[in-house]
């Protein structure tokens, strides 16, 4: 029996910032001259992003109005790791709770106290006792709920969490697994003119997502996604091209210009291996939930898999409205896909992929379940849930 990804909830911080506004902040913070500022603004214009969200209001303010960064030219003394992680600890729980409450609000028959497992995902902050214990206390989860923290894996980590949730539910169909991803990427702005840092500063935003993984679809008209298969691949040639390091002034992202080409070269083989032992051909897949690591990455995937921008529309919409929120992003895309699913999509396969340091390429095959529940189906239809 498969497991089912039911309700997906999302949340973003209140500070919604247009890309040109952020570009202006960055140019001033980096003290760029006129020519460098023009190049920076061009980078932001072609990013495919219109708005991002941040737990920090400073990116939309002028010097003299900052709350987190120093109100000085060049933002000196620049915030160090301790102050960034203190902000993470302050802001992560409220955002995670908002995503969880959105999720549980879509599943009225699921009480928080009935959850058996809690999987927390983040690569932008950590502390102990951590977010997992704070969620147990804030949500009134059973003290015996089984907790697992998936940390510092980057943008593909939510796929790992869903794979673990799938294993837990397949082992015990009565299990009720809550996955919570919270990423506060904008805490880690790097005041550096290095190309990797300029690109990272142009792409990443803050957000949280939560999802329920259960042994049966949620009842009612809301569609679910059956988790059918997972596959992980590594592209060793990209080991140095996407990385995530802890430096003196925050977490530093390496994101080289070679990443789209590396993904383009590896995604076809990854999908082929995922589908190799399944009774489905790649040509049968018409629904996609791909991690929007950036516009060029989405275009590279389209080229490798023969997709159109319309096939990738859910990823582009999330990229446009939120940017890249690291591990939470693919859950935003899956929520977008579910929001547009109809009863006619019942049984349709869905391909989802995410990428991160390694270079790691994670893929999963899902299936739309757009009917109320197996109990409401006839014998032949109910067999599709087996």
What confidence tens digit (pLDDT) does each residue in 324-379 have? 999 999 999 999 999 999 889 999 999 998 987 877 888 899 999 986 544 444 45
**pLDDT tens digits for 48-76?**
999 999 999 999 999 899 999 999 988 99
Q: Which of 53, 52, 69 is nearest to 61 (CA)?
A: 69
* Average pLDDT rounded to a whole number, residues 13-34: 96
- Partners of 353 in the beta sheet? 290, 363
On average, the pLDDT of the chain sits at 89
pLDDT of amino acid 359: 77
Distance CA 331, CA 159 (A): 9
pLDDT of amino acid 244: 66
* Average pLDDT rounded to a whole number, residues 147-157: 93
Homologous superfamily of domain range 224-385: Thiolase/Chalcone synthase (3.40.47.10)
pLDDT of amino acid 358: 74
Indicate where the chain has its CATH 3.40.47.10 domain(s): 3-214, 224-385
* Average pLDDT rounded to a whole number, residues 101-126: 95
Model confidence band, residue 381 (pLDDT cutoffs 50, 70, 90):
very low
Distance CA 285, CA 288 (A): 8
Model confidence band, residue 100 (pLDDT cutoffs 50, 70, 90):
very high
Beta strands 206-214 and 15-18, pairing class: unpaired
Distance CA 135, CA 124 (A): 17
Beta strands 224-234 and 349-356, pairing class: unpaired
- Number of Cβ atoms within 10 Å of the Cβ of 71: 13
Model confidence band, residue 258 (pLDDT cutoffs 50, 70, 90):
low
pLDDT of amino acid 262: 72
Which of the residues 155, 185, 232, 353 is marked catalytic?
A: 155
Is 353 an annotated catalytic residue? no
3-214, what's its fold? Peroxisomal Thiolase; Chain A, domain 1 (3.40.47)
* Average pLDDT rounded to a whole number, residues 151-159: 92
**pLDDT tens digits for 264-321?**
777 778 777 877 767 788 888 999 999 998 898 899 888 888 889 999 999 999 999 9
């Amino acid at each position: 029996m498969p497991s089912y990804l039911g309700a997906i909830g999302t949340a973003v911080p209140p500070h919604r910032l247009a890309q040109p506004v952020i570009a202006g902040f960055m140019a001033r913070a980096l003290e760029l001259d006129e020519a460098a500022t023009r190049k920076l603004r061009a980078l932001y214009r072609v990013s495919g992003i219109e708005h991002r969200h941040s737990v920090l209001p400073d990116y939309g303010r002028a010097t003299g109005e900052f709350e987190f960064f120093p109100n000085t030219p060049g933002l000196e003394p620049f915030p160090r790791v301790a102050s960034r992680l203190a902000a993470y600890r302050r802001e992560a729980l409220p955002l995670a709770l908002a995503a969880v409450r959105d999720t549980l609000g879509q599943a009225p028959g699921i009480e928080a106290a009935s959850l058996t497992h809690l999987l927390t995902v983040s690569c932008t902050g950590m502390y102990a006792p951590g977010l997992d214990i704070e969620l147990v206390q804030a949500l009134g989860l059973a003290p015996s709920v089984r907790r697992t923290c998936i940390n510092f894996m980057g943008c593909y980590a939510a796929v790992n969490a869903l794979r673990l949730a799938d294993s837990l539910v397949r082992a015990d169909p009565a299990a009720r697994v809550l996955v919570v991803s919270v990423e506060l990427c904008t805490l880690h702005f790097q005041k550096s003119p290095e190309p990797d840092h300029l690109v990272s500063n142009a792409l990443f935003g803050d957000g949280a997502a939560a999802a329920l993984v259960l042994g049966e679809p949620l009842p009612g008209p809301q569609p679910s996604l059956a988790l059918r298969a997972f596959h992980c691949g590594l592209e060793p040639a990209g080991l140095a091209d996407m990385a995530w390091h802890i430096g003196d002034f925050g977490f530093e992202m390496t994101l080289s210009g070679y990443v789209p080409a590396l993904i383009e070269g590896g995604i076809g083989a990854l999908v082929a291996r995922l589908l190799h032992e399944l009774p489905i051909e790649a040509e049968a897949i018409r629904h996609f939930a791909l991690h929007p690591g950036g516009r060029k990455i989405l275009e590279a995937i389209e080229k490798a898999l023969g997709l159109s921008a319309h096939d990738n529309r859910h990823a582009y919409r999330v990229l446009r409205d939120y940017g890249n929120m690291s591990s939470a992003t693919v859950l935003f895309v899956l929520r977008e896909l579910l929001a547009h699913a109809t009863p006619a999509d019942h049984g349709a396969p869905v391909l989802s992929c995410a990428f991160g340091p390694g270079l790691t390429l994670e893929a999963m095959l899902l299936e739309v379940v757009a009917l109320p529940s197996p109990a409401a189906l006839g014998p032949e239809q109910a067999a599709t849930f087996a």
